[in-house]
Chains A and B, each alone.
Chain A
Amino acid sequence: MAHRLFSIVGLVLASFAPATLAGDSPRLTSEDLDRLIAQEMAVDQPADLAADAQFLRRLSLDLVGRQPTPEELRQFLDSKAPDKRDAVIESLLSNPEFGTNWANYWSDTIAYRIPPPELTFLEYGPLKKWLAEKLNSGASWDAIVGEILSASGKVGENPPATFVGYHEGHAARLASETARIFLSLQIGCAQCHDHPFDEWKREQFHELAAYFARVSVKMPWNDGTLVEVSDKGKGEYEMPNVADPTQKGRMMEPVFLSGVKTGTGKSDAERRQELAQLITNPENEWFARSYVNRVWARLFGRGFYEPVDDFGLAIFPVCPDVHIAVSNHFIATGYDVKDLFRLLLKTRIYQQKLGTPDDDHPFVAARTGRLRGDEIFDSLVTAIDLPNVKPEAMKPTKEIRFPPPPKSTRDIIAETFTFDTSLRREDIPRTLSQAMLMMNNDQLQAQVNANPESGTVLARLVKSVNDDRELTERLFELVLARRPSERELQIAVSHRESVPDRGAAYEDLLWGLLNTAEFTTKR
C-alpha cells in the first residue's frame, strides 16, 4: 500500500529533529511549551508579561469573543490571588459564550467559501448553535468533525449536515474543502492537473471526491434550514476526461490520501463514516496539526504555517518542532479542545507584552489580531448596550418569490466585518463600509447620545458621574476595557474644555473611543 501522505510526514519529521522533552509522554505542560519556544528562538530571558487589564481583554476576546465588562475588569484588577490568571482562564472556558465564539469562528471558516446556491438562502444559525453546545459540553474535535463529515438529514433538524448540504453534495468541492479546512491540504489544485508544487496527483483528488459520490442534496426554495442530505442509493464517482470533457470519465474508487482503500459499492453513510474515521485517526497527523495550527494562529497572531490552510511543500513553517509537539499533545489527550486552550493560554508567551516580532523570532512578543464581525457586535453590546433589532421576515408572494431574509443588527455588523478566517493576518482588508458603519450607522449612533431622555449608557454616566476624570475612566473601561493613560486623560480633558456642552464633549469621546483602531483589534 502506497503511504504517500505519511512518507511526506516522515520527511518533515526527519528534517526537523523533534525537540527533546523530559520523559516519553507526548503530553506537555505550559512550562514545557514555554521552554520549547525559548529553545527554538534561542531566548534566555522570559518575556515581560502584559499588564492585567491587557491580558484580560486579550483572553476574553479569544475565549468569549468580547471584551470584559467593567465589572469583570474591576474584579480581576482588584483580586490579589496569585493564581488569578489561571482562575480566569478556567472561568471563561466554562462560560457558555466560549462555545458560541468558537462556533462562530468555525461557521465563518466553513461558510466563507460556500458559494450561494441558486434559490436558497443559507442559514448558519443551526450549525452555530449545535457547534456551541458541542464545544461547551467538552466534545472532542474528532467527534465534532466526524459528525460534520458524515451527517445526513435536514440542516434544521441535524445541523452538522450543513457542511455537506450547503456544498450541495458537490463531490469535488467537498473533497477540496474537507482537505483544506480539516487537514490544511490544498489538493483542490489537483482537480484538473497534478499539483504544481506538492506531490498530489490528479487521481488522488478524485479518489477523495469518490467518498462523496453518493451524497444527494435537496435544495428547497428560500429556506436554508430545509436543505436535506440523503443517500443517492447508487452510483460511483467519475473523474472527468480532461482531454475531451464530452467523453465518459474514469470511474474512481474511494481511496484516502494515505492510500487506504475503501472500495466501491458502499452506501453513502458507509463512505462518509469511513472517511471521517480515516481523517480523524491519530495516524493521520495532518488532522491534529491543522487544528493546532489554526487555533495557534488565532491566539498568537501567526500560525506555524501561513496561510493556515496550506501545509504545502512550498510553505516554510516557523517553529515546526513546536507545532509537532503541540499536535502530539493534542492527539494524546484524545483531541481535547478545552485542554488545548488551557495549555496554550497558560504559557508566558501567550501572556506576554505586545510587540512586532519577525519571522526569525516569531513568538518573542504578542501580536495584534483583527476581531471577527460577531466579536465586534458582542463588544458593542458590552460597551454601549447596542440593541439587536430584527425586522419582520417577508413571506414569499407571487410577485416577490424570493424575499431575502431580514437582517438583524448583529447580522449587519457581522457581515460588514466578516473576513475569511483562512487568510493571513496581513491580508485581511479594512474596508470603506466598515469605517462608514462605525462612523455613521444610525443604530450605533443612537447610543452615542448624552441627552438624559435617550436612556443610553452614556446618558446615565454623564448624569451620575460629575467628575470629568472619572467619567473619562469609566468610558475607557466600557469601550477599551482598560484605564486611560495620563496622556489620554489629558487628551480627553482638553477636548472637554474645548467643547462648551458637557454632554456633547462626552458624545465625542465615546464616538472617538469606538472609532479607535484598538476597539476592533485584539492587543
Chain B
Amino acid sequence: MQHRVLDLGVNRDGVASRRSFLKTVGAGSLAAGVSTVGWRDLMLAQAAELRKRGKSLILLWMDGGPSQYDTFNPKPGSQYQGPSQPIATNVPGVHFADFWPQTAQIMDRLAVIRSMRTSEAEHDRAIMLVRTGYPPNPAVRYPTLGSVVSREREDRGRDLPSFVRIGKPRIKTRDVDAGILGVQYSSFNVDQAGTLPPNVRPVVEADILRRRLYLAEQLDNEFARAGGAKDVADKRSIYDQTARFVLSPRLSTFDLDDEPDSLRDAYGRTNFGQGCLLARRLVEQGVSFVEVISTGDRNDAGWDTHNNGFRDMPWLCAEADPAYATLILDLEQRGMLENTLVVWMGEFGRTPKLKADGGRDHYSKGWIANLAGGGVRGGQVIGATDKDGIDVSDRPIAIQDLFVSFCRVLDIDPRKEYHTFDARPIKLVDGGEEIPELFG
C-alpha cells in the first residue's frame, strides 16, 4: 500500500506538487486505512528519486560585484576595512562582516573561497567570463552554465523547464544567455518571485485549451499531407512540451502563497528573499539549475557600490543575509542540501581603497565564491588574501577551477565537447582543475 502511494507521487518526471502530494497521501491513506506514511517518508523517497535525476545547482548571483571586505573576508585592523566590523561565525577562527549575522551561524555548512582571481574587471566582460567560464571572445557567444546544464539534462517529456532564472539583471545590457547553444536552452525567466511571467497561465479553462489544442492538431493534418510533415512534427513536439508546462498542476510551484508566513518572513519579503524560497520549491520539483539574482530592490546600482558604501552595503546585505541563511537551513531540513549545490558569488570584488563615503571600485584579485551542499565539505575556508586584501596570498583559484568543480557535483564531464553550427568543437570547460579541498 505504501508503495502504491509512492508510485502515485513520484515518477520519472519528478514529483507531484506538495499540495497534490498531500492530497494523494490523504486519499491513499484513508482508502487503505494506512496512516503511517508520513511527510518525511515521502521526502526521503523523493530525495532518492532526485538523486537519480542528478544534483541541482542554485546560483545566488550578487549582480554588480560585492565587496569581499563587507561580506566574507573582513580585514580587521586594516586601513581598508570599510563600513562593517568582523564578527565570529559558528566555526572557530573564521570571521565574517557583521552585516551577515545569520550567515555567520551557518558557516559550518559553507566552503568559503577567499582567493578567486580573474582577469576581467569590467562588468560586461567579467560577467561573460564568470558565467560562461570562457574569456570574452568577439567571435563566439559562449553559453552561460545554466544553459549547458539544461542541454546536458534535456528531457522534453518533463513539464517544468530545467533552467529557471529569478529576478532581473540590474542593467539589461549586461547579460549572458544560451549563446551558440541556441534559444531553446535559454533560462525560463521569472522577474518577480511569486508571479508567473506573461503567457504561462492559460487565459481560458484547461478543458477549453485542451479542446483547442486538439482542434489545431486536426487542422495541421492537411498541411502535413501537403508537404509540411516535418514542420507539423516539429511544431507538435514543442506544443506538447508547452501544453505539459502550462497545464501542469505543478505550475503552483511558482506560487508562494501556500508557504507558511513565518517561513516567507524568514527568507525576507524582498524579491531576492522570495526568489530563494522559489528556488527551493523549484529544486524540490527537480529543476536542475536555478539562478536567483540579487540587485537590491532600491536602484539599479545593485552591488556595484562605487559610491555610498556606508549607506548601501548595510541594506544590500540585510536583504541577502536572511535569504541565504534560510535557504541553506530550509534545504537541509528537507534533506535536500546534499543534492543541491548552492553557490554565492558575483562577477568580481571591490578595491581595497575606499572612498570617504565607503564606495569601492571594481577588483578581480581575491574575490569571494561560497559553496554549500551537493557533497561539498562545509566549515572550511579555501585560500586567502594578504592582511590588507590587496592580492591573493594563498591558493589562487581560477574561474575554470570552479566550473570543473561544479561539473563534478552535477556529474557532468567538463571535457565533453559540443559543436557550434560552424562545426567548431567547444569543451564544456576549457582548462581548470577540480578544487579537491571542496570534497575532501
Contact = CB atoms under 8 A, between A and B. Distances in A.
A272 B424 CA distance: 31
A116 B173 CA distance: 6
Interface in B172-218: 172-175, 182-184, 186, 188, 198-204, 208-209, 211-213, 215-216, 218
A194 to B, nearest CB: 15
A441 B202 CA distance: 8
A512 interface: yes
B40 interface: no
Contact of A353 (B183, B227, B234): B227
B242 A436 contact: yes
Interface string B228-259: 11111011111101110110000000000000
Most buried by A among B161, B203, B300, B422: B422
A356 B230 contact: yes
B4 interface: no
B138 A173 contact: yes
Given A430-B234, A485-B222, A523-B226, A117 B173 contact: yes
B231 A439 contact: no
B377 interface: no
Given A307-B422, A440-B199, A508-B208, A517 B235 contact: yes
Given A117-B173, A491-B218, A512-B219, A445 B203 contact: yes
Interface in A396-454: 398-402, 404, 423-424, 427, 429-437, 439-442, 445
Contact of A439 (B124, B202, B218): B202
B123 interface: yes
A332 to B, nearest CB: 32
Interface residues of B, number: 63
Contacts of A129: none
A23 B224 CA distance: 44
Interface stretch (A91-99, A118-126, A156-164): A118-126
A172 interface: yes
B289 to A, nearest CB: 16
- How many interface residues does chain A have, given as a range? 35 or more
A176 interface: yes
Given A512-B212, A516-B220, A423 B199 contact: no
B173 A440 contact: no
Contact of B183 (A431, A441, A495): A431
Contact of B231 (A120, A170, A517): A517
B46 to A, nearest CB: 25
Nearest to A186: B422
B215 A508 contact: yes
Contact of A355 (B201, B227, B299): B227
A515 B161 CA distance: 22
Contacts of A515: 212-213, 216, 239
Contact of B246 (A307, A353, A440, A491): A440
Nearest to A442: B203
A400 B302 CA distance: 10
A445 B299 CA distance: 35
A365 interface: yes
Contact of A434 (B174, B238, B298): B238
B271 to A, nearest CB: 15
Interface of B: 122-124, 138-139, 141, 161, 171-175, 182-184, 186, 188, 198-204, 208-209, 211-213, 215-216, 218-224, 226-232, 234-239, 241-243, 245-246, 298-301, 421-422, 424
Interface of A: 113, 115-121, 170, 172-173, 176, 186, 188-189, 191, 307, 310, 353-356, 365-366, 368, 398-402, 404, 423-424, 427, 429-437, 439-442, 445, 485, 487-488, 491, 495, 499, 504, 508-509, 511-513, 515-518, 520-521, 523
Given A186-B422, A432-B184, A439-B243, 9 more contacts: A116-B173, A118-B174, A119-B171, A172-B138, A189-B139, A427-B421, A430-B235, A512-B218, A516-B219
13 contacts: A116-B173, A116-B175, A119-B173, A120-B173, A402-B171, A431-B183, A435-B242, A488-B219, A504-B208, A508-B215, A515-B213, A518-B231, A521-B228
